[in-house]
Amino acid sequence: MTRSSEQIEAARQDSLGRLLLNAHRAHMSVFLEKIRQQGADDRINASLTNIMTHIPAEGIRLADIAKASNMTRQSVSQFVSELETIGYVKRIPDPSDGRATLVRFSHKGWDIMQRALQVKHEIESEVAKKLTPDGYAQLIIALKIVGSL
Amino acid sequence: MTRSSEQIEAARQDSLGRLLLNAHRAHMSVFLEKIRQQGADDRINASLTNIMTHIPAEGIRLADIAKASNMTRQSVSQFVSELETIGYVKRIPDPSDGRATLVRFSHKGWDIMQRALQVKHEIESEVAKKLTPDGYAQLIIALKIVGSL
DNA sequence: CAATAATAGTAAGGTTACCTGTCCATTTTG
DNA sequence: CAAAATGGACAGGTAACCTTACTATTATTG
């Protein structure tokens, strides 16, 4: 049995690696599109949203964002500066340690963050709706397994 | 009910977006590690393996790799040059079109490609083994759904 | 069938998302 | 208190792309 080039192409697209990559890209691009529709700044991107998810209401030290996000302090510093330029975040001195700066949301930033969480839930239920009843839970389990290969 | 910062951190890590990213990274890094153990050149990386998956035994035009991989011809050209340096691929003139070059595997490249396919299957069955009987098939379905969001 | 348009590939330089190396200021610690 | 550790910023580097611009060749069309 000879396989057409379409079938070969389909098989390639079905590999776990490619599916994971495509899924991640699609998810991220839908997410960015939706939060921009919610009024997020056009300069917002994957890296900046990643940083933002690590900032709690009370603020957090730059070095702690670095630990939580597995990035260097230098990279985080750069992204925090971009967030500062956009006006989503402020650097304030840490009262308990003269070396440290706390990164804290501005009103605008906090607002967008709430909308982002909302959008995240929307996307997750959209996916869940397209799966069998416990399909979403299974997906999460499977992804955790792959993530800890 | 107040949630500890560990719980909040766990919730963050459980978001679909982050799980997809982690899964993809883990998968890719395991894949690269394994094909290097199979003797792949140390210079091999995610981009190069991506290009390689688009090269069939009979060879393919650079522009067709670009279409299949959603990259520009320029980027593909660059990666093909790297593969050529490693010695996994050759550029040969397309007899049917004087403008075109065919990209074709060298013996070494073809060999590594076969090993890579093998490794890919290994990883996929390793994942399948950790899931319920139809869990892997479900995962593929779910990933396709997310990929076409 | 010559002129024009389209296509294949390359070259040069730009952007983005990181990282390393280094340095300063401020703690922390022996 | 001197030495080491920590928090952050600055400068410069790299990898994976992309855009712009160009040449060589093939296809089209008036």
In contact, A73 and A94? CB cutoff 8 Å: no
Percentage of residues of chain B with pLDDT beyond 70: 91
Report residue B87's pLDDT band, with 50, 70 and 90 as the boundaries.
Answer: very high
- Look at the domain A15-147 and name its fold: Arc Repressor Mutant, subunit A (1.10.10)
Decide if pLDDT at A5 tops 70: no
Average pLDDT score over chain B: 93
Q: Which residues of B102-136 are buried (b: 16+ CB within 10 A; e: fewer)?
A: bbbbeeebbebbebbeebbeebbeebbeebeeebb
pLDDT score of A9: 63
Q: Which residues of B touch A17 (CB under 8 A)?
A: 24, 27-28, 31, 120
pLDDT per residue as tens digits for the range A19-32: 999 999 999 999 99
pLDDT per residue as tens digits for the range B88-107: 999 999 999 999 999 999 99
Q: Is the CB of A73 under 7 A from strand D?
A: yes
In contact, B21 and A24? CB cutoff 8 Å: yes
Q: Hey, what CATH class is B41-147 in? A: mainly alpha
A27:B19 CB<8 A: no
Residue spans of the domains in chain B: they are: 41-147
At position A63, the amino acid (one-letter code) is A
pLDDT score of B9: 62
Distance of C1' in D30 from CA in B51, Å: 42
Tell me which residue has tokens 């065919």: B102
Tell me which residue has tokens 């308990």: A96
